[in-house]
Amino acid sequence: MHKVVLIDDEPSVLEGLRIFADWEKLGFVMAGVASDGASGLKLINDATPALVICDIRMPLINGLELFEKVACKSQPIPKFIMLSGYHDFYYAKKAMSLGALSYLTKPLDAEELQNELQNAAEVIDKEDASRKENLEYLRSAANQAFEEIMAGERSPKLSQKARFLFGKQEAVQIIQLNMRLSPDEEADRDLICESLCETLRIRDKCRVFENGRGNFLAMISPEEDGEAGAPEMDAIILEVKKAAPGCSKCFLLASEATDAGGDFTEAVFKCGRQLEEILAWCMMHPEKAVLDYKEFKNKRFSGEKAIGLIFSLPYERILSALKNGSRMEAMIALDAFFHVLGRNSSLGVNAVCLSRLADLIGRTAYACGIGASREVSRFACLVSSRHAALEECRDFAGSLCSLILDNRCKNSAKPVELLEIEIIEHIKGNCLKNLSLQSIAEAFSMSALIISKIVKKKTGKKYNDFINALRIENAAKLIAANPEMKMAEVGAASGYSDYVYFTVKFKELTGVSPSEYKRKYQL
C-alpha cells in the first residue's frame, strides 16, 4: 500500500478527499492530514508518503513553495496532485513545470479525482518496480566491491567504483549486523535493509547490502547521515527480530569512523578488519550483542594466543581456491586449517575460528551468486554445537566447498545460447512464484546484472516487464478457462499478492480491467 498525505486549509475539502475516493481499493493508505504548508512539510518529512495531494493557496507556505522544498530534500520525491479554487492557468503551468502529476480545480469532482488517483497508483507502481530492480543491481555491485577491497585488491577503477557506490564522504564508518538463523529460517532481507536505512538515516540505499549468510553491512557517512548512537542500534535489533522471528542471536557491530581522504579503499579495508576483530570478541562473549570498536579497544581477548590463532589461520587460501575454482588447493588449505585447530585445546577459540570460516565461505558463495545459504547455515549450527567433533566439521566444510566449486563449474561447459535458453525457461517455469533476480543468479551461479542482460537480450523486455507479461498472460488464460473464479483468486494464482497492483498491470498490458476481460468470456 502507498502512503498518501492530504494538505488543505479548508476542512470541507479534506473531508471531501477522504470520502470521494476508495483509497484502499486504489492501493493507498492515509498517512496524515495537515491544514497549512509548514505542518504539511513536517508531515511529509516524517511520513515519507508516495503521494501528496496539496492545495496551492495556504497560510505560511503555499503549495508551490512546499513542492519546491520537498523536491530539494526528499529522495525519492513523492508524487504531487495540486488543488486550487482558482481557474488560473499560471498555477497549473507552474505546478506541472515542477513535476506535478496533475492539477485539479475546486470544487472537486469525485470521478475526476478517482481517475487521477488511479493514474497516480500506476505511475508509482511502475517507478517502484524499476527502482527496486536498480537497487538490487547496486547492492550486488556494492557487495562485490566490498569483497574485492577486503580481499586486498587495489586499483584506481575499484576506488572510483567504491566512491560511487558508498559516497564521497570524508570519513567512512561501517555498521555490521550478523544474524544467527536456523538452517530453515528465511528472513525478510528487504525489510532488514529498510530498517537499517531508516534507523541509521542512510539516504543512499545501496550503502546497505547483504554480504551473505544473514550478514548486513551499512556504510555510514557520519557528516551526512548523523550519529548511529546506542539507542538507535538497539532499535535495529528489535526491527530485525520482527523480520526474522526465528533469529536466535544478533550481533550489531560498529567500526570507528576512519578518514577516507587519502585512500578510500584503505579506509574501508581498515573498518572491515575492525569488524572482524570485534565479531570474534563478541562470539567469545555472547552476552554482548551491541559493540563498537571504541569500546572494544579497551577490552582484550582471552589471551594473546587466542587472537594470534584466530587471525593466522589460512582463511584466505581457502577462499582464493574457491574463487579460482581449484578443488585440490581448497582441500589442501582445509587440511592445513583443521590440522592447526587439532593442536589447540581451547574449544571456545576453535568455535570462533570455525564460525569465522563458515561466515567467510558463506560470503564467498553469496558474492559468486551461488545459492548455498542453507548449507552454510547448517555448517554454522554444526560448529556451534558443543558435541561436534573436528572431523565432522572438516567433512562438512569439505562438502560445502565442493558444492560451491561444482556450482561454479556446472555452466562453464555449456554453449552460451543453451544457457540463455535455460535461464528463460527457468523464469517461465517459476514466474508465478516469488522469483527474484538474485534467486535466479544463485540458481545459475551468475550475477544478477548478467541475468538481467540475458533477459533483455532474449525477450526485448526488462526483467520486471517480462515477469509481468508472463503473469498477466497466465491470468488471462485462467479467466477464459474459469470464468467463475473471483478476480482476487486469479491474481493470487498468477503471482500477485497485491490485488490493486494486479489490476493495474492487467489493464496496462491488455487494455481492459480483469472484470471487463471476464465479461468478454461470459457473453
Q: What is the mean pLDDT of residues 183-192?
A: 67
Same domain? 76 vs 96: yes
Same domain? 459 vs 380: no
Strand partners, 254: 175, 292
Q: According to the model, what pLDDT value does residue 49 have? A: 92
- Within a domain: 90: yes
Cα 521 to Cα 523: distance, rounded to the nearest angstrom: 6
- Within a domain: 129: no
Q: Is the pLDDT of residue 44 over 50?
A: yes
Same domain? 47 vs 178: no
Q: According to the model, what pLDDT value does residue 428 have? A: 93
- Within a domain: 394: yes
Q: According to the model, what pLDDT value does residue 248 have? A: 63
By CB atoms closer than 10 A (0-12, 13-18, 19+), residue 283 is: buried
By CB atoms closer than 10 A (0-12, 13-18, 19+), residue 51 is: buried
227: pLDDT confidence band, cut at 50, 70 and 90? very low
What cell does 285 get?
Answer: 562473549
Q: According to the model, what pLDDT value does residue 246 have? A: 63
Q: Find the range with the poorest average confidence among 19-33, 64-78, 189-203, 373-387.
A: 373-387
Q: Is the pLDDT of residue 198 over 90?
A: no
Domain of 24?
A: 2-108
| Residue with more model confidence, 383 or 112 | 112
Name the 3-class secondary structure at 476.
Answer: helix
| Residue with more model confidence, 459 or 85 | 459
Same domain? 395 vs 458: no
Which residues fall within 8 angstroms of residue 233, CB to CB, at 6 or more apart?
Answer: 175, 199, 252, 254, 290
Q: According to the model, what pLDDT value does residue 482 have? A: 87
121: pLDDT confidence band, cut at 50, 70 and 90? confident
Give 478's Cβ-side CA count (13 Å radius).
21
Cα 420 to Cα 322: distance, rounded to the nearest angstrom: 25
What cell does 321 get?
Answer: 581456491
The string of pLDDT tens digits covering residues 47-68 is 889 999 998 888 888 888 888 8
Q: Is the pLDDT of residue 303 over 50?
A: no
Q: Is the pLDDT of residue 225 over 70?
A: no
Can you spell out the DSSP letters for 297-328?
TT---S-HHHHHHHHHS-HHHHHHHHHHT-HH
Q: What is the mean pLDDT of residues 93-121?
A: 83
Same domain? 371 vs 243: no
Domain of 230, CATH number, reads 3.30.70.270
Q: How many domains does the chain have?
A: 4
Same domain? 292 vs 319: no
Region for 258 from its dihedrals, namely left if φ exceeds 0, alpha if ψ lies in -120 to 50, beta otherwise: beta
Cα 223 to Cα 225: distance, rounded to the nearest angstrom: 6
Q: Considering the chain, what is the average pLDDT of its residues?
A: 81
Q: Are 495 and 487 in contact (CB under 8 A)?
A: no
Residues 411, 393, 330, CA angle at the centre, nearest 5°? 40
Same domain? 71 vs 199: no
DSSP classification of residue 108 = P
- Within a domain: 436: yes
Domain boundary among 299, 325, 351: 299
- Within a domain: 367: yes
Domain boundary among 282, 299, 316: 299
Task: Compute CA distances 415 → 100, 405, 443, whole Å.
Answer: 49, 19, 17
395: pLDDT confidence band, cut at 50, 70 and 90? very high
Same domain? 286 vs 255: yes
Q: What is the mean pLDDT of residues 319-331?
A: 87
Give the other-Cβ count within 10 Å of 72's Cβ: 8
Domain boundary among 54, 80, 108: 108
- Within a domain: 438: yes
Q: According to the model, what pLDDT value does residue 6 have? A: 92
DSSP classification of residue 84 = E
Same domain? 14 vs 102: yes
- H or E stretch at 209: strand 208-210
Q: Are 395 and 334 in contact (CB under 8 A)?
A: no
Q: Is the pLDDT of residue 239 over 60?
A: yes
Q: According to the model, what pLDDT value does residue 228 have? A: 43
Cα 75 to Cα 93: distance, rounded to the nearest angstrom: 24
Q: Is the peptide bond before 514 cis (omega within 30 degrees of 0)?
A: no
Same domain? 161 vs 210: yes
Q: Find the range with the poorest average confidence among 3-17, 96-110, 459-473.
A: 96-110
Same domain? 164 vs 234: yes
Domain of 73, CATH number, reads 3.40.50.2300
Q: What is the mean pLDDT of residues 394-422?
A: 80
Same domain? 373 vs 429: no
- Within a domain: 473: yes
Domain of 442, CATH number, reads 1.10.10.60
Q: According to the model, what pLDDT value does residue 494 have? A: 93
- Within a domain: 166: yes
Q: According to the model, what pLDDT value does residue 271 have? A: 92
Q: Is the pLDDT of residue 397 over 80?
A: yes
Cα 18 to Cα 415: distance, rounded to the nearest angstrom: 59
